[in-house]
Amino acid sequence: MQKIQFSATASSTLDHFDSLIVAVNADGNLISNDLTDKIQIQNLISQLHQSGDFTGKTGSCLMLSMPNGVDVQRLFLVGLGDTDKLSDKAYLGALQNAAKQVLASGSNQLLNGLAEVAPKGRNSDWSARQNALIFQKSFYQYTHPSRGTFSNDTPKLNAMSFTVNADQKSLSLAQATALGMELTQDLANMPPNYCTPSYLAQTAQELANTYGFKAHILEREQMQEMGMGSFMAVAQGSATPPKMICIEYNGGGDEAPIALVGKGVTFDTGGISLKPGESMDEMKYDMGGAATVLGVFKALGELKPKINVVAVIPSTENMPGGKAAKPGDVVTSLSGQTIEILNTDAEGRLILCDALTYAQQTYKPCKVIDMATLTGACIIALGNHVSGILGNDQTLVDQIRAAGDETYDRLWQLPLGEEWDEQLKSNFADMANIGGRAGGTITAAQFLARFTKEVPWAHLDIAGTAWVSGKDKGASGRPVPAMVEFLNQQAKS
Query: What is the per-residue pLDDT for 33?
Result: 87
Strands 474-475 and 431-432: unpaired
Q: Is residue 492 annotated as involved in ligand binding? A: no
CA 136 to chain centroid: 15
345 labelled binding-site residue: yes
What is the residue-level pLDDT of the chain in tens, covering all 493 positions? 799 999 999 999 999 999 999 999 999 999 998 898 999 999 999 999 999 999 999 999 999 999 998 999 999 999 999 999 999 999 999 999 999 999 999 999 999 999 999 999 999 999 999 999 999 999 999 989 888 876 667 889 999 999 999 999 999 999 999 999 999 999 999 999 999 999 999 999 999 999 999 999 999 999 999 999 999 999 999 999 999 999 999 999 999 999 999 999 999 999 999 999 999 999 999 999 999 999 999 999 999 999 999 999 999 999 999 999 999 999 999 999 999 999 999 999 999 999 999 999 999 999 999 999 999 999 999 999 999 999 999 999 999 999 999 999 999 999 999 999 999 999 999 999 999 999 999 999 999 999 999 999 999 999 999 999 999 999 999 999 999 999 999 998 7
Query: Measured between alpha carbons, how far is residue 327 from residues 62, 271, 297 in Å?
Result: 58, 10, 36
Provide, for the chain, the percentages of residues in helix, strand and coil under a 3-state DSSP scheme, each rounded to the nearest 5: 40, 20, 40
The partner residues of 331 in beta bridges, in order of sequence, read: 339
- Which CATH number describes the domain made up of 179-492? 3.40.630.10
Number of C-beta neighbours around residue 89 at 10 A: 12
Neighbours of 473 (CB within 10 A): 13
Report the Cα 174 to chain-centroid distance in Å. 13
**5: closest CA among 15, 17, 13?**
17
Could you tell me which of 423, 416, 402 has the C-alpha nearest to residue 452? 416
- Answer yes or no: is 347 a known binding residue: yes
Q: Which of 160, 162, 163, 196 is nearest to 178 (CA)?
A: 160
Residue of 177, 173, 139, 176 lying closest to 158 (CA atoms): 139
> Any idea which residues carry the catalytic annotation?
275, 349
263 is in an annotated binding site: yes
Question: Is 219 among the annotated ligand-binding positions?
Answer: no
Residue 39 CA from chain centroid, whole number: 42
Could you state, in order of their start, the residue ranges of all structural domains in the chain?
A: 5-142+152-163, 179-492
Strand partners, 368: 259, 457
CATH of domain 5-142+152-163: 3.40.220.10
